[in-house]
Structure 1
């Protein structure tokens, strides 16, 4: 009976990760709709210039993130020698995600005329509120878990600041980017509205996905470690806590990898073929 309970609990705790992956799969449809609206519209010259400038800006910042990741790997090799090999993938991943977040949070403001009186979109029109609040909840859960393990002595000071500081910084950067897309007024020219909506939609999904991955992967790792440590203890009766922690860890890791896969789909910049059609 105890094994059955453990199996049922393990499967049940995998469900949230599956649901999160499905939600991001459905978000791909929103990307298709936004991109299709841009293709059908004929943006103004200012709108086309904005598309080119935004794409170039994002590319530069993502390249910077890649360079930061490589620099972090080199620094880890210098400090830790061969022991740093286990840090190469996490450090490079953090650098790449940092490039995505910084690129979206620092996007230059479009130079087209703004609507008067100013009209602004709602967050729910750009990205699913469930995805945004899940991102915030995962960051909070990761910080609480890291803090609890640090107080128990399971995490060293350096490790704690790494696993807590990186998700916190990613979340704050994502919130800045989300705030920017909400406070900027819509363009005055109706032909540029689809371009503006697509750019906002891209930014909202990119920062939400990047911050989610930054929190989900360390959160899953912490849960797995806590579950495995508890599993080594000798207890009387049935103790489902280790099973719950391990299942939650697997779920978080799987969800983080799934969101990372969907994140790649949003990295392609918004494009318009209107000039080619006109020619």
Structure 2
């Protein structure tokens, strides 16, 4: 009976990861609609210049993220020596994802003329509230798990600081990027509106995806480590907590990898090629 309960619990904990992957699959449709709308409009010269400038800025800052990843590899070699060979890939991934979020948080403001009075879109027009609050919840869960394990002396100080600082910094940068996209006024020219909507949609989904991955993968590793450690203890009855922690760890890792797949396919910047108008 205990094994059946464990299997049922394991499957139940995996359900949120499936639902999260489904939500991101639906978000791909929102981005596709925004991309198609750009193809039906002829942006003004200011709008076309904005798209080029935004794409150039994104590439430059993401290269900076790659440099941060290389610096992280060097730092891990200095701190951990031979054991750092297992940290090279995580350090590089962290740097790249930080570059993605930093690029969105520091995007230059468009130079097109804004409407009078200033009009601003709603948050739900840029990204689903479900994805937004799921991202915040995952970051909070990762911070709680890191603090819990750190207080139990299950994390070295160096690992504990990284597990807290990186997701928290990414979260702050993501909120800055989302706030900037929300408070930016809409363009006055109607031809630039689809471009502006696509830029906001691209940015909101990029920061949410990058922040989710940077929280889900460490959360999965922390839950797995905690579950395995608790599974070694001797108890009087059947203990479901280790099973729940291990299942949650696998679910977090699976969800993080699923979101990472969407993120990689969405790094291409907004394109203005008027495909629909030339057919």
Q: Does 1:105 align with 2:94?
A: no
Cross-structure match for 1:211: 211
Equivalent-residue separation in structure 2 for 1:58 and 1:170 (angstroms): 16
- Contact persistence 2:40–2:275 (CA under 8 A): no
Cross-structure match for 2:125: 125
Equivalent-residue separation in structure 1 for 2:17 and 2:210 (angstroms): 16
SS at match of 1:274: coil
Q: How many residues get paired?
A: 278
| Per-residue deviation, residues 229-262 of structure 1 (Å, max 9, x unmatched) | 0100111111111000000000001001110110
User: Matches of residues 101-250 of structure 1 in structure 2 within 5 Å?
Assistant: 101-250=101-250
Equivalent-residue separation in structure 1 for 2:106 and 2:146 (angstroms): 29
Tell me by how many angstroms 1:76 deviates: 2.1
Question: Which sections of structure 2, spanning at least 5 residues, go unmatched?
Answer: none
Q: Which moved more, 1:67-76 or 1:168-177?
A: 67-76
User: Matches of residues 33-52 of structure 1 in structure 2 within 5 Å?
Assistant: 33-52=33-52
Equivalent-residue separation in structure 2 for 1:255 and 1:33 (angstroms): 24
Cross-structure match for 1:32: 32
Equivalent-residue separation in structure 2 for 1:242 and 1:211 (angstroms): 27
Equivalent-residue separation in structure 2 for 1:62 and 1:147 (angstroms): 30
SS at match of 1:52: helix
Superposition TM-score, scaled by structure 2 size = 0.97
Equivalent-residue separation in structure 2 for 1:62 and 1:276 (angstroms): 30
SS at match of 2:255: helix
Q: What do you get for the CA RMSD once the two structures are aligned? A: 1.3
SS at match of 1:177: helix
Tell me by how many angstroms 1:276 deviates: 11
SS at match of 1:272: coil
- Contact persistence 1:178–1:204 (CA under 8 A): yes
- Contact persistence 2:40–2:277 (CA under 8 A): no
Equivalent-residue separation in structure 2 for 1:79 and 1:148 (angstroms): 24
Equivalent-residue separation in structure 2 for 1:37 and 1:275 (angstroms): 10
Cross-structure match for 2:81: 81
Tell me by how many angstroms 1:274 deviates: 3.2
- Contact persistence 2:223–2:248 (CA under 8 A): yes
- Contact persistence 2:40–2:276 (CA under 8 A): no
Equivalent-residue separation in structure 2 for 1:164 and 1:95 (angstroms): 15
Tell me by how many angstroms 1:275 deviates: 9.6
Tell me by how many angstroms 1:113 deviates: 0.1
- Contact persistence 1:43–1:274 (CA under 8 A): no
Which stretches of structure 1, 4 residues or longer, exceed 4 Å deviation after superposition?
Answer: 275-278
Tell me by how many angstroms 1:153 deviates: 1.1
Cross-structure match for 2:274: 274
SS at match of 2:36: helix
Question: Which sections of structure 1, spanning at least 5 residues, go unmatched?
Answer: none
| Per-residue deviation, residues 150-197 of structure 1 (Å, max 9, x unmatched) | 111111221111001100000000000000000000000000000000
Cross-structure match for 2:18: 18
Q: Does 1:252 align with 2:252?
A: yes
Cross-structure match for 1:263: 263
